[in-house]
Each structure stands twice: as C-alpha cells, then as structure tokens.
Structure 1
C-alpha cells in the first residue's frame, strides 16, 4: 500500500458536488437554444417545461432566471419568457404546444433521475462517521446536521437510518444517534460473522452466477493489478462490492444476506480510509479477489469458498493494521453535528 499524495482527512460534509436539477435543466435548454433547435420567440412557461423534464416548477424557475440573465430568454407582456433570436433580440411571442421536440430534444426526455436530499447527504455523513468512529465515541445531533446540510430533520433521520442498517450508527434508549468507537474487538466480531456466513452464501449463490458478470469482474481486478495507479477508493469499492455483495446476492436465503450486510462495516470504513489518504489498493487484496473469481469461473465451488475464507482472514489483519495507523494520527476536524462522548 503506497500513497499517491500527501494524506489529508476531510470529513466536512458537502452537498454542493451533487447534480442540481436547475443546473441540468439550464444546461440542456441553453444547448438547445444555442444550436437553434428551439424556435426563437417560443413562449416558455414553468409548468409545461417542468412536465417535460419530470420535475417540479422550482428548479425550472431557477433555470429560467439564469437563462434570462444570460440573454437567452426575454420577458414580455404575458406570462413566462420568450426564446431570444440568434442576434439576442426579443422576437414576437410564439405560442405553441410544448413537447420534447419543441424543446429541441430528438426523443422523449426521461425524468431527471437525481438523488433525493437524503441520498445527497448520505455519502457525506457516511464518510464523516466512518472516519470519526476510529477516533472515539460520538453523538450525532439531528438538528445541527439538518442546519449544516440545509435540509429537514426528517431527511437527516432517513440518512441516519440507512447508516444504522450498515452498523455505523445506533440509536440509544433516549433516541440519541450514536456512533463509535470502532475497536479491534468490533472488527473481529464482524469478520467472525463474515467468515461464517459469506462462504455459505457464496456456495448457495454459485449455481446462479452469470459467467459474463464474473468475467467482467475478473477483468476489472486484472486491470487493477496491472495498473494500480488507476484505481482510486471508489474503483476499489466497486471491486469489493462485486465479490462481497454481487457474488453472494443470488443466495436464496435473504435473512442470511441481511446478516452479512450488517457485518460490512469494515468495508465501509476501509473505503473511507482509502479515500481520506488517497491510497492505492494493496496487491494482496487484489490477488485474493482474483483467486476467488477464477475458481468461480472454473466451476470449482469449494475452491472458491476456501479462497474467500482465506481472503476474509487476511482482510481482518489488514483492517486491524489500518486501525493502528489511524490511532496515532491527530483527530481530524469533524462536522459540527458530531459531539465527542469519549
């Protein structure tokens, strides 16, 4: 394991990187106007445009305001805006039924599949909690988190409930959200469960696995081994998910899969560790993944099961080593809504 750059831990939550509806609507309308696909003078109203994009009027209103400021839309005596002429002037209003083709789209425009507020803040909270729990025991204040993210408490509660499903947070008898500390004992307990359950799930899932998907997963691992510099934390997470989630997902016992999911906290913390320190994947991890996938493709069920168990034992040792590394580092600046208990 080698660093690509100097390590800095940043757990301050941010939702500004998430795609915003008004920005996507603005960009697509701007492009269509610039290419002359929307007739000059066409009257644009919030409601019809919102229906085309499958969204509410609020982001459409914001997009219109930006286009107006950029000179691509003009106001007039009636409701809405008119599309500017190529020379930037305001042509006579043209009222016509609004459709995808009228907006310059070649085909029906799918509703904007954008994450909900809870989805947008979930990953920021997951990263903060994953790093924070390695430094101690914390209480998460719903109200402060809602204020920090600019969302409702219900939205924060939804994201925290998902983190509870991962085992990253818990709710006390007094309805306080708590997280940490992540101890060597907790890691050992999770790995003990995984060593018992994941091989069983793999054995049950094996007859139903797609050779095409296994081949793709193996190709990604091979590329990571050959070009480790190209693999970041997110790419490594996809590799881990392919083996520890997708290869087990065909097991018919869904209760078994649910118990495995609750023991995946080390995977989440490892992802945060790699992301925080901008690290390459370890060669041993990738070689172990390759062994399991090769046995699966060869149809050698028991060899794959044994290789998976060996990988989990080795993974436990690596995770405990990461905890030791974090233990000697200064505590990072954690979000304001995380209050140290011990």
Structure 2
C-alpha cells in the first residue's frame, strides 16, 4: 500500500520505468511492478537502475522548462533552439538535449527531418482531437483492466477520493494530480491490451497542460470537482461491471473535455504569449 499523496511508477512496453522523477501528471505507461513516485515530479522514460546520476542532470530543470513550453504552446507552433536553451539554463548541450528528448516523449516538442526542434501547438483543435482519442481508447483499456487491478489498490484509490470529497475545495494540487493518475494512468496500466495503452501516450500532454494552465490561472476558474465521477467509475470496476465502467468513463471524459476547453479559452483571454530566449 502506498501513502496518501503518492502514486505508483509507470512503465512503458519495453520495460523502461516511467514515473515523475523530479516533477505528470502527464505520465505514460503500460506495464506494472511500479515503485512509489511523487506526482508533482516530471516523468522519467529511462530505466534508472545502475545509471550514473549525471545521466539525469536534466531533472532539476524539467518542471520549469515543461511549464514554459506548455504555456507557450497554446499560442501556436514555434522553433526552439537547443544551443540557446543550454545557454539560458547555463547547462551543457547534453543536458539541454535530454530535456528536449523528454519533452518529446510527452508530446510537447517535435523534431523535423532537418533535426530542428519545434514547440507542438496545443490549441483548441488539438485538445479536442486528443480528448476524442481518449474517449475512444481509454474506456476500452479500462474494461480490459477489470479483474486485474488489485483490490487493495482500488481500496487506496477509493480512500483518497473520499478524503478529497470531504476536504474539497481545500485539496492540494499534488493530491488532485494523484487522483487523476490513479484512474487515468494507474488503473489503465493494468489493461491486457498494451497497444491501446501505448497509443494513449499521445494524449498525456493534455494532462500536463491542464495542470500548468490551471496553475497559471491561479484557480480563477473553480477547480474541477471530478472526485464523484471517479468514484462512480471505480465502483463499477470493483463490481466487475465493464459496461457501466466504460459508460461512466466516457461521460467523465466528455465533461472533462468541455472543462479543458473553457480553461484554455480563459487562459488565452487573460494571458499574453511568453517571451522565451530559446524560442525563435
């Protein structure tokens, strides 16, 4: 059993561990056997066992770098200069490259055929498309996970949800992140279909974006009280009622998509495009 406020580490298909090293929510997963991690830390896509700590010199810089990129991405595509990033952070090119590689795994940046880095735009259309993908795939993955999620893990998830309902709205952001990860990352990771879970990796950037956009708005928009919706889904999973679990999750994701669109609109209306020294 893991303590309140912590979530398990995720793994990808190749067996590499995935978690929140120093900072996810935008977590990518598929497999199990996961040690405890902190949901307020960045995802790690490399197996850390036996590696020199120097290999992870990018981690202390990642949270702020990710936040800057997300808040810039909502204003459209932009060229990113790796050398300028290294100079801005006062780090070597290797560290800057590792940061970019990690951000690419999350879907925040991309690299073109000429090896140039670009910020991937995160506009209304992409939010809509990624939520549509989640609505198509996530309920199927959850249904395939029913019966495979340990009862004690469901107990812990339900306990955290009920505590959050009792404490709401005085629920720390890190705890809200944990609740999101419990259902949308950890439960889904038990799915018998690793191809679906792998495909869902493409959608995790909207979980990351939601966190940073809400923080930037300083909760001017009320925090989404999604706990009751999660409890309904978890109850159906407990009862091995796949049809009800799928239906409840589809409804939950549809509501979340609209709330995400509202937050994005509010952010665009109140914030200006940030000037970053490594963006051209």
1:266: Cα distance to partner? 1.3
TM-score, normalised on structure 2?
A: 0.75
Pairing of 1:275-294 with structure 2 (within 5 A): 275-279=215-219, 281-283=223-225, 285-294=226-235
Task: Give 2:144's aligned residue.
Answer: 204
1:312 corresponds, among 253, 265, 270, to: 253
Task: Please give the alpha-carbon distance, in whole angstroms, between the structure 2 residues aligned to 1:181 and 1:149.
Answer: 23
Q: Paired residue for 2:46?
A: none
Residue in structure 2 matching 1:169, options 109, 115, 119: 109
Q: Which runs of 5+ in 1 are unaligned?
A: 1-17, 19-110
The whole-number CA distance in structure 2 between the counterparts of 1:310 and 1:124 is 33
CA RMSD in angstroms, aligned pairs only: 2.2
Mapping for residues 1-150 of structure 1, pairs under 5 Å: 116-150=56-90
Structure 2 residue ranges without an equivalent (≥5): 1-21, 23-50
Residue equivalent to 1:251: 191
Alignment correspondent of 1:329: 270
- SS of the aligned residue for 2:79 comes to strand
Q: Deviations over 1:31-60 (max 9, x none)?
A: xxxxxxxxxxxxxxxxxxxxxxxxxxxxxx
For residue 315 of structure 1, report the CA deviation from its aligned partner.
Answer: 0.9
Alpha-carbon distance in 2 for matches of 1:320, 1:278: 17
1:295 paired to 2:236: yes
Aligned residues of 2:109 and 2:120 also touching (Cα < 8 A): yes
* Structure 1 match to 2:10: none
SS state at 1:264 partner = helix
Report deviation, 1:254: 2.0
The answer to whether residue 279 in structure 2 is matched with residue 338 in structure 1 is yes
The 3 A distance-change label for structure 1 pair 217 and 116 is same
Query: Residue in 1 aligned with 2:206?
Result: 266
Can you list the C-alpha shifts for 1:286-322, whole angstroms capped at 9, x where unaligned?
2211211122223322211111111111111111111
Q: How many residues align?
A: 229
**Separation of aligned partners in 2, 1:142 and 1:286:** 40
Q: Which has the larger radius of gyration?
A: 1
Structure 2 SS opposite 1:173: coil
Distance, in Å, in 2 between the alignment partners of 1:312 and 1:277 is 22
